[in-house]
Amino acid sequence: MSDADESAFEPLSDDERFCLVRFSDRGVRFVVVGGYAVRFHGCLRSVSDLDLLIDTGDANLEALTLALADLGVEERDRVVQLFRSQRRARWRWCTGNLDHYVDLLSGIADWQYADVEGDSIPTTDEGLTLRVLSKARLISERRTLLSDPNRGEKAAQDLEDLRCLE
């Protein structure tokens, strides 16, 4: 998908876009994963959240603390400590709109930010520079998700994503 084609990120809610702007302003390093990454690679399907794989290095977690403060997150110190202490941390930010939220992740499949950043795809959306999980890694991640017996209803979407991506 080219930088000029904004359809991948068109469904971003105002809250999701606000989060991306705050992260960008503070220099938070992340890679877009999940449904928006699937859309970026040409499978325009519905999305209900924005998944971001966060760099858990100390400097980036300091930037994340500032960005979370900008977003009004009171428990930001607890969130950052969670990301410092757990290899598979996950935290959800929303402003009350349960249809659109942002999931911050410290790992997906067996990867951390440092594993995927180098082959992630840079793109822009409405002036924001973003990095998106590579198609090869996205396919591998969807295969891993399909092997998880606890995925429940999400397994059908994972299979649909994989069929479209391959």
Rounded to whole angstroms, the Cα distance separating 71 from 84 reads 20
* Mean pLDDT value across residues 129-141: 96
Q: What is the pLDDT of residue 93?
A: 92
Closest to 30 measured CA to CA, from 52, 4, 57 = 52
In a domain, 1, yes or no: no
Backbone angles phi, psi at 141, to 5 degrees: -65, -40
In a domain, 165, yes or no: no
The number of domains in the chain is: 1
Lowest mean pLDDT among 60-64, 97-101, 161-165: 97-101
How far, CA to CA in Å, does 99 sit from each of 13, 17, 40, 113? 9, 14, 20, 26
pTM to 2 decimals? 0.93
In a domain, 26, yes or no: yes
Q: What is the pLDDT of residue 57?
A: 97
For residue 137, what are the domain limits? 7-158
In a domain, 118, yes or no: yes
3 contacts: CB under 8 Å, gap ≥ 6: 123, 124
* Averaged confidence pLDDT in the chain: 92
Give residue-wise pLDDT tens across range 50-79: 999 999 999 999 999 999 999 999 999 999
Q: Any idea of the CA torsion for 5, 9, 13, 14, to the nearest 10 degrees?
A: -60
In a domain, 163, yes or no: no
DSSP 68-126: HHHTT-TTHHHHHHHHHH-TT-EEEE-SS-TTSEEEEES-BTTB-HHHHGGGPEEEEET
In a domain, 164, yes or no: no
Residue 108 has pLDDT above 50, yes or no: yes
In a domain, 2, yes or no: no
What CATH number is given to the structural domain containing 25?
A: 3.30.460
Residue 164 has pLDDT above 70, yes or no: yes
- At 134, the pLDDT band (50, 70, 90 cuts) reads very high
CB atoms within 10 A of CB 112: 18
Rounded to whole angstroms, the Cα distance separating 139 from 26 reads 30
Percentage of the chain modeled with pLDDT above 90? 83
In the structure encoding, which two tokens stand for residue 70, read together? 């900008």
Residue 99 has pLDDT above 80, yes or no: no
In a domain, 48, yes or no: yes
- Which residues face 130 on adjacent strands? 123
